[in-house]
Amino acid sequence: MTKLRVHNLAVSLDGFATGEGQSFETPFGHAGQRLMGWFFPTSTFATAVGQGAESGGGSRGVDDAFAAASWQGIGAEIMGRRKFGPQQGPWQDESWRGWWGEEPPFHTPVVVLTHHARPDIQVGETTFLFRSLPPAEALALAVAEADGLDVRLGGGPTVVREFLEADLVDHLHVVVVPIVLGRGVRLWEGLEGLEERFSVEVTASPSGVVHYVFTRLPRSR
Amino acid sequence: MTKLRVHNLAVSLDGFATGEGQSFETPFGHAGQRLMGWFFPTSTFATAVGQGAESGGGSRGVDDAFAAASWQGIGAEIMGRRKFGPQQGPWQDESWRGWWGEEPPFHTPVVVLTHHARPDIQVGETTFLFRSLPPAEALALAVAEADGLDVRLGGGPTVVREFLEADLVDHLHVVVVPIVLGRGVRLWEGLEGLEERFSVEVTASPSGVVHYVFTRLPRSR
């Protein structure tokens, strides 16, 4: 049974998943890199940027365990358009092929949610499918593409919130970073009572972040 | 050196320290008792309500350790008026002597912050001093009353926020409860960058709550 999974979604203590003033140069706005400070020291990150085993780089603690889990058993991804690129409105040209160069890390089909149609593109082993779909239909498409594996919901926070509101998320991993951002995009808005649909497991990391794992309770029939 | 300490301040994942719609019957509003659900099973609570050692009641785990710490080395308390009673505006009569009956648990002077003057009262071993004072002056009064011990800032959340904004808090213990309240009184509002003034230690409890201990960094001279 295919699950829809969210991983490594970092929020501040006051619940902001990104800061204010996002731009091409500052994708997290005034939050800068502070929401991902727990991730950069991990072996998973070191490996992703080519400084892994060969250089002995990266921690192997609980933060790394969670970071690595994001990549296990995933057959397709769904992401919002802002994760694919910083442009807004109709595509001015179609030369933008994502942030990730010629071999994106996904190696699966990726459904990019956008109101602005564009032909699908193949970049390395990753296929990007640009679609304007409501959450349930986007999920159905991704499931069909995932070849029996799970689907990762890659963000950003507004997209995650929409799928949570539609009660489509089976696994939600949130990383609470002990900073107060004060402004930005709130993750929890509109999700009052979320905990009634999930079991919750909590792990504090020596790095100071707290990992929350929400697992969807069995749905009654 | 007297410290100003906050203990057992519970907030939801989305940062609400109390719910919406507070009243005499529902002091936490729509949050009900959910923010304090971690506290009721503790030995500290069982003892406070007379079901302690003699009945073998209450847990002795990390939640209890934090609950008990609240009472160690305290010589005075500062609280907002709403913690003292549910009335608003001028006192209609002065027969209200707090929620706690004839022997309140404080056994120290308690500074009650209110814009509405009222004579001090003695209830059991506790003296309530009703004062209209800005945070720094309220603290000075409480320090003078504390006889060399620490001062506890007892809440509510708006009062705590005011003292944090004035940078008067030395120790802040926040308990994050894994629920999404959606509405109510926000603790973190206006406190952007709070973490720069504090070191933070984080402990996850098997009960599902997370204890955050903020310790004020040494002030530069």
The string of pLDDT tens digits covering residues B73-97 is 999 999 999 899 988 899 988 899 9
Q: Which helix (H) or strand (E) holds B162?
A: helix B157-165
Please tell me the number of Cα atoms within 13 Å of B66 on its side-chain side: 27
pLDDT exceeds 60 at position A156: yes
| Contact at CB, B186 and A14, closer than 8 angstroms | yes
d(CA A181, CA A13): 8
Higher pLDDT, A44 or B57: A44
Among candidates B182, B205, B212 on the partner chain, residue whose Cβ is nearest the Cβ of A192: B182
CB B21 within 8 A of CB B181: no
Per-residue pLDDT, B52: 55
- Examine residue B29 and say whether the peptide bond preceding it is cis (omega within 30 degrees of 0): no
Higher pLDDT, A28 or B149: B149
Average of per-residue pLDDT values in chain B: 93
User: Helix, strand, or coil here: B199?
Assistant: strand
Nearest to B30 by CA among B186, B187, B189, B181: B181
pLDDT exceeds 60 at position A52: no
d(CA A49, CA B85): 58
d(CA B193, CA A12): 11
pLDDT exceeds 60 at position A181: yes
pTM of the shown model? 0.93
| Contact at CB, A13 and B210, closer than 8 angstroms | no
* pLDDT average, residue stretch A208-214: 98
d(CA A20, CA A12): 13
CB B113 within 8 A of CB B178: no
Residue linked to tokens 């706005």:
A29
Find the angle CA(B43)-CA(B46)-CA(B51) to the nearest 5 degrees.
125
Per-residue pLDDT, B26: 83
Among candidates A182, A188, A210 on the partner chain, residue whose Cβ is nearest the Cβ of B204: A210
Q: For A53-63, how does the pLDDT look when each residue is reduced to its tens digit (9 = 90+)?
A: 555 688 999 99
pLDDT exceeds 90 at position B56: no
Per-residue pLDDT, B107: 96
Distance from CA of B200 to the nearest CA of A (A): 7
CB B5 within 8 A of CB B170: yes
Residues of chain A positioned with their CB less than 8 A from the CB of B179: 193, 195
Per-residue pLDDT, B27: 80
Residues of chain B positioned with their CB less than 8 A from the CB of A212: 13, 178
Nearest to A159 by CA among A76, A79, A71: A79
DSSP state letters, B54-78: GGT-SB-SHHHHHHHHTTTTEEEEE
Percent of chain B with pLDDT over 90: 81
Per-residue pLDDT, A48: 81
Per-residue pLDDT, A51: 65
Locate A50 and state its tokens. 């080519």
Among candidates B14, B193, B208 on the partner chain, residue whose Cβ is nearest the Cβ of A200: B208
Q: What is the Cα A173 distance to its own chain's centre?
A: 10
Highest mean pLDDT pick, A52-56, A82-86, A205-209: A205-209
For an interface test with A, the pick among B192, B196, B198 (most A C-beta atoms closer than 10 Å) comes out as: B192
Q: For B9-35, how does the pLDDT look when each residue is reduced to its tens digit (9 = 90+)?
A: 999 999 999 999 887 788 888 998 999
| Contact at CB, B195 and A179, closer than 8 angstroms | yes
d(CA A119, CA A101): 18
Q: Strands B150-153, B74-80: parallel, antiparallel or unpaired by DSSP? A: parallel
User: Helix, strand, or coil here: B188?
Assistant: coil
d(CA B39, CA A198): 22
| Contact at CB, B183 and A192, closer than 8 angstroms | yes
Highest mean pLDDT pick, A50-59, A88-97, B198-207: B198-207
For an interface test with A, the pick among B161, B176, B202, B207 (most A C-beta atoms closer than 10 Å) comes out as: B202
Q: For B37-51, how does the pLDDT look when each residue is reduced to its tens digit (9 = 90+)?
A: 999 999 999 888 776
d(CA A125, CA A127): 7
First to last CA, chain A: 16
Residue type, B205: S
Average of per-residue pLDDT values in chain A: 93
pLDDT exceeds 60 at position B54: no
Q: Which domains does chain B have, with CATH numbers?
A: 4-85+103-216 (3.40.430.10)
Residues of chain B positioned with their CB less than 8 A from the CB of A200: 178, 208
In chain B, the residue whose alpha carbon lies closest to the alpha carbon of A14 is B15
Per-residue pLDDT, A54: 56
pLDDT exceeds 90 at position B191: yes
For an interface test with A, the pick among B9, B12, B14, B172 (most A C-beta atoms closer than 10 Å) comes out as: B14
pLDDT exceeds 60 at position A157: yes
Residue linked to tokens 């309220």:
B138
Give Cβ neighbours of residue B101 (< 8 Å, ≥ 6 apart).
Answer: none
CB B30 within 8 A of CB A205: no
Residues of chain A positioned with their CB less than 8 A from the CB of B15: 13-15
pLDDT exceeds 70 at position B99: yes
Q: What is the Cα B119 distance to its own chain's centre?
A: 23
Locate B118 and state its tokens. 């009222």
DSSP state letters, B132-144: ---HHHHHHHHHH
Under the banding of pLDDT at 50, 70 and 90, the label for residue A216 is very high
